Structure 1
Amino acid sequence: MNAEGHDATRRSYDTVAEKYAARFRDELAAKPLDRALLASLVEQTPPGAPLADLGCGPGHVAAWIAGTGAAAVGIDLSAAMVSAGRRAYPDVEFREGDLLALPAADGEFGSAVAFYSIIHLAPSELPRAFAEVHRTLRPSGLFLVAFHVGTQVRHLDEWWGHEVHLDFQFLEPAHVAGLLEDAGFAVEMRMERVHLPDEVDTRRAYLLARRTAGSAVSGGAEPPGEPAE
């Protein structure tokens, strides 16, 4: 995906930001597994170290993290999503930024989560994105990533009555795990599940990876229907 593709993704999420925020605000209430994984991530993050929500959308996951008492930083490509998050969750810090060039200092975050955000990257962009996550994590920091399982690309050109231009890249867990390991992570957990009743009919994968202790900080040169979650 080139800059034009990222611009299309940004414009699409800007277009649906308000409806997206209203629809997904309370989604974690019906996702006990997601909450458990997030709680585990928070528990393993050093006290006082900020936890990054990468591709945070309107910030409901970051807000849940902040509700545990942890410091949360939400980062999203869409300015409208960031604006919606700032209005709804004043206790969360939001930043506008791209997964390929995160607006964060080296080693700034204690851990990071990316729920269904890497699906908007081209497969060739994943190594750079994972290098950026590695760069911004502290030594031994954890990275929790979730995505749709498969090899297809689903395209959406209309969403809730709005014209959009979005590609949703499905990914194979073994391939993603290998890319994470190449970027300096050790994958500690792999999990797959079927979709919940209110979700799009896809299989979902979760990987929990740890920034390898002692590894140097690296420089970093959802589908049709209800696609995002």
Structure 2
Amino acid sequence: MTVGESYTLYKLVLKFSGFTTAQESNVVIGSTVQLRCPDKSNSQTWIIWSKKVGDRFITYSEATNIDPGLDQDLKSRLQVTGDQTAGEYHLNISDVRKSDEGTYKCLIIGTSGGSTQQLTVIIGPTSVYIGNVTPYNKILGIEGQDMTINCTAVGGQPAPDIKLVILGSIYAGLGLAQHTFTPHSSDDGSTVTCQAGYNQINFNPLSTSAYIHLM
């Protein structure tokens, strides 16, 4: 089978064949992601990676070769990795951009096998802050009266996970977390901390803290 024939077969399979494997990958913008093809090729087959653009799929690679028709910047960020002697062909994307987000397929030419992967590119929050903090990094409250402490993240796509820790207890939310409680004298001077990030990929780049000050 020639290279030209492989492209023809590729288009036919994409149109008529079902895929049995679905995976999701989440990656922070600017990092490197490896999209792993769970299937393996052999001496009679090879693997093509493609991405959905509009209503069609654009070829990214065939075996270890990056498609020469792609934009030069995109080509420079793509690499096929894995142990090819074992039939592994994974697609690496470096310096990930928001434009890389979307649906990818690895197709085994010569069979009806293949998989679909959804890549989500995360743009982290730019800052995180605890509300009503004085210039001296204190959160003012009155002993015996309800006080509310909140933490907010600025930016982030999708909305980041917030973890607010008050008096040893964790309060979580998306983009915002808060808790209302009645402070006691023993709470004076306690540290309040807050983190913003994405728990699913264990990425929590931003944190801040302040102190409870009772009057």
Verify same fold: TM over 0.5: no
TM score, norm. by length of structure 2 = 0.24
- Structure whose residues are more often strand by fraction: 2
TM score, norm. by length of structure 1 = 0.23
Higher Cα Rg, which structure: 2
